[in-house]
Every structure is written in C-alpha cells, then in structure tokens.
Homo-oligomer: A and B are copies of this chain.
Amino acid sequence: MELKSVIGIYEDFPKQGISFKDINSLIADPMAFKQAIDEMTKVAKALDASLIAIPESRGYIFGAPIAYQLGAGLVPVRKPGKLPGEVVSEEYDLEYGSNTIEIQKKLIKPGDRIVLVDDLLATGGTMMAAVKLIEKLGGQIAGLITLIELTELGGRELLKDYFIHSLVTYQY
C-alpha cells in the first residue's frame, strides 16, 4: 500500500502556512498501520537497540508497538512536569519561543543503545533535543526512525551525524 494515500493533508492547520499531515486516517486503517509498524520494526531491529525512546505524544503510537515486537524497553520523552523522580531536561528553540523536554534518569544507563521513534521529522528541533538528553545520560543513539519526513525543513541536515530512516517524504 502507498502509505501517502492514507495520510490526510490539511492546509493552514494548526495555523496559517502550515500544511498539516494527518496520520490519524493511517493509524485507523489496520492494514496501513500494520505496514508502517512492520517497516519501522524491520529497521529498528537492524539497529540492534535495547531501548526505544518516544517523544510525547505521537511518537508513542509507533514506538510502543515496535518496542513490543522487538522485546525492547520504552523511554518516554515528555513535556516538563509530567515525570516524577530525577529527570534531565533540554530546552530548544521554536520559531517563536522555546520548548523543554525531559527524560527520567533511571531509565537510561551508560552504554544503552537507543532508537528514537517519532511520527514526524520536520526541523529536527525536538529530535535533536531528545538526542542530547540521551547522550547526557551516556546512552548511544543507534538511529532515528520517523513515519514522515518534511525534506525542505532541515531536520536531516541538523541530525546529519545520525542514521535516519523515514517511510514517507514530503517537501514541507
């Protein structure tokens, strides 16, 4: 199946100038969802990681079935204030303002090999911040897997030191 055929496009959502890629029709379609997970799992398996890191919240949808299939553990990458216990934080710039993400310290040990899984690679800001968090804790990035990549937005260039696999590309 051509996965693009089940991804919706909404112009000017959530704001003017954004061509929003809606993955909800894909994940609601059992055949399309299975195909996406199977392709991503195959790549993740080759990267030989023991943990799958998943940015909140759409990364969870793809990362959780992959981790289940591989027998790997899951490490949520969350917005501030959601995680109890000791956390490490990373702030990164947005077009207007900034965001912060956090990981629990206890979940990553030095030397752990980790694959990052998300729905979308655009500017790469969130992914790069997640990479930095994982490396702060001594984790090794085995690679990045995304369903969609927006090729004109610079994410691959920003993350050029890392292996990246995306299933579907759009320019922006």
For A104, list chain B residues within 8 Å (CB): 24
- Interface stretch (choices A30-38, A93-101, A132-140, A151-159): A30-38
Interface-facing stretch out of A80-88, A141-149, A160-168: A80-88
Complex CA gap A33/B63 in Å reads 13
- A54 and B62 CA atoms in complex are apart in Å by 13
A24, B76: Cβ atoms closer than 8 Å: yes
Within 8 A of B (CB), among A23-59: 24-25, 27-30, 33-34, 37, 50-51, 54, 56-58
Copies in the complex: 2
Q: Flag whether A122 is at the interface (Cβ < 8 A).
A: no
Contact of A65 (CB < 8 Å), options: B68, B81, B85, B107: B68
* B62 and A10 form a contact (CB under 8 A): no
Bound Cα distance from A73 to B106, whole angstroms: 33
Q: Is there a chain B Cβ closer than 8 Å to A74's Cβ? A: yes
Q: Say yes or no: B57 contacts A74, CB within 8 Å.
A: no
A73 touches B13 (CB 8 A): no
Chain B residues with CB under 8 Å of A13's CB are: 84
Residue among B8, B71, B75, B76 making CB contact with A84, cutoff 8 Å: B8
Across the interface, which residues of B come within 8 angstroms of A72, CB to CB? 30
On whether the beta carbons of A62 and B64 are closer than 8 Å, the reply is yes
Which residues of chain A in 95-124 are interfacial with respect to chain B, using CB atoms and an 8 Å cutoff?
104, 106-107
